[in-house]
């Protein structure tokens, strides 16, 4: 919010001040100019591009013997994360991304790690409340511990299959563990039905049902939703707002990196995600390995942070792509 105050001061300089305050004002303006110049220099040094694209990666089950093309083995999942570390990515949650709170160091790139269907392979706790080795959460925590700066955060899109728990106390335990350990809980509808073609009431029951349940169990109100099969309801707004829920972002399945939330092409009602998978078969071009290779080869298209969460920094020539709502935060260089 510091940025808003700064903008107000700058605007105030346009009016004719009385002579006495003029000096102080001039000093303040000079100081401001200096700060801004330093920020611009830092952004340029980091080659910041906060209008660039963000990979939102999607995993399902992490299991030793993959049974579907969505499954990854623990070793593959670990390799997925290690590649992100190597490429300079830092995880942010889906909630942070859609609300523009991308607070990562200068020169780093945000990545959103998402897990669908709340399966036990993602989170199972042992008798002491520690994630079982080999689960997605345990592997993410291990990789983060070995690589300082790689935040162990992710978004879990939950259905009524709450990590395999049927007892309400155990369900609450799982959700509260995620909440208390900095993870983000998202809505994935109650029964995982395809919402396309369903009535408004059915859509509200599916989304609101699990939304209220998550709230009752953990006092968390999901900020985002991921649609089953990536299919939008007949009116896409139904996924965002309804009886018992209000989402700032609706995630699809999708096959491309997502636009930055500060970019004009960002559509909060349809944010694409990328399946985490090697470059083979139907994943030769449109899954995670292929896209991460592409983003690495096209650094000007990728989101790179300037390290300052309060500004939206970008090379000047990209100015037409800035979303109007973020004009106040703009730091072109
Ligand atoms: Zn799903």
79 CA from centroid of ligand 1 (Å): 23
What is the Å distance from ligand 1's center to 162 Cα?
Answer: 12
CA distances from 88 to 85, 93, 295, 306, 314 (A): 5, 16, 11, 13, 18
Measure 228 CA to ligand 1 centroid, in angstroms: 5
Q: How many angstroms separate the alpha carbon of residue 112 from the centre of ligand 1?
A: 17
Q: Is the pTM of this model over 0.75?
A: yes
Give me ligand 1 centre to Cα 148, in Å: 31
133-168 residues labelled b (16+ CB within 10 A) or e (exposed): ebbbbbbbeebbeebeebbbbbbbbbbebbbebeee
CA–CA separation, 160 vs 268, rounded Å?
Answer: 25
pLDDT in tens, the chain (333 residues): 344 444 434 444 444 445 555 667 788 888 777 788 999 999 999 999 999 999 999 999 999 999 988 999 999 999 999 999 999 999 999 999 999 999 999 999 999 999 999 999 999 999 999 999 999 999 999 999 999 999 999 999 999 999 999 999 999 999 999 999 999 999 999 999 999 999 999 999 999 999 999 999 999 999 999 999 999 999 999 999 999 999 999 999 978 999 999 999 999 999 999 999 999 988 999 999 999 999 999 999 999 999 999 999 999 999 999 999 999 999 999
**From ligand 1's centre to the CA of 261, what distance in Å?**
24
Q: How far is the CA of 19 from the centre of ligand 1 (A)?
A: 66
Rounded CA gap, 321 and 177, in Å?
A: 39
């Amino acid at each position: 919010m510091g940025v808003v105050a700064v903008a107000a001061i700058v605007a105030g300089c346009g009016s004719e001040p009385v002579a006495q305050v003029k000096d102080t004002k001039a000093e303040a303006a000079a100081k401001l100019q200096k700060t801004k110049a330093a920020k611009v220099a830092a952004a340029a040094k980091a080659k910041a591009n906060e209008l660039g694209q963000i990979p939102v990666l999607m995993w399902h089950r992490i299991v030793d013997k993959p049974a579907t093309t969505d499954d990854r083995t623990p070793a593959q999942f670990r390799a997925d994360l290690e590649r992100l570390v190597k490429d300079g990515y830092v995880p942010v949650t889906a909630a942070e991304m859609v609300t523009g709170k991308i607070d990562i160091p200068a020169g780093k790139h945000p990545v959103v790690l998402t897990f669908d269907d709340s399966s036990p392979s993602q989170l199972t706790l042992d008798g002491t409340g520690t994630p079982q080795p080999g689960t997605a959460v345990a592997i993410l925590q291990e990789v983060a511990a070995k690589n300082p700066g790689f935040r162990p955060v992710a978004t879990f899109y939950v259905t009524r299959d709450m990590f395999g728990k049927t007892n309400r106390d155990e369900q609450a335990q799982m959700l509260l563990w995620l909440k208390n350990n900095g993870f983000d809980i998202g809505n994935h509808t109650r029964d995982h039905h395809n919402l396309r073609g369903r009535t408004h009431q059915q859509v509200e029951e599916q989304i609101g049902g699990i939304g209220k349940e998550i709230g009752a169990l953990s006092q968390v109100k999901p900020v985002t939703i991921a649609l089953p099969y990536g299919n939008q309801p007949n009116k896409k707004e139904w996924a965002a707002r309804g009886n018992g829920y209000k989402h700032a972002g609706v995630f699809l399945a999708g096959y491309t990196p997502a636009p930055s939330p500060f970019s004009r092409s960002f559509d909060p009602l349809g944010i694409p995600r990328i399946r985490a998978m090697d470059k083979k078969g139907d994943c030769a071009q449109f899954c995670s390995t292929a896209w991460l290779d592409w983003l690495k080869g096209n650094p000007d298209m990728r989101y790179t942070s300037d390290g300052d969460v309060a500004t939206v920094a970008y090379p000047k020539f990209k100015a037409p792509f800035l979303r109007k709502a973020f004009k106040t935060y703009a730091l072109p260089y």
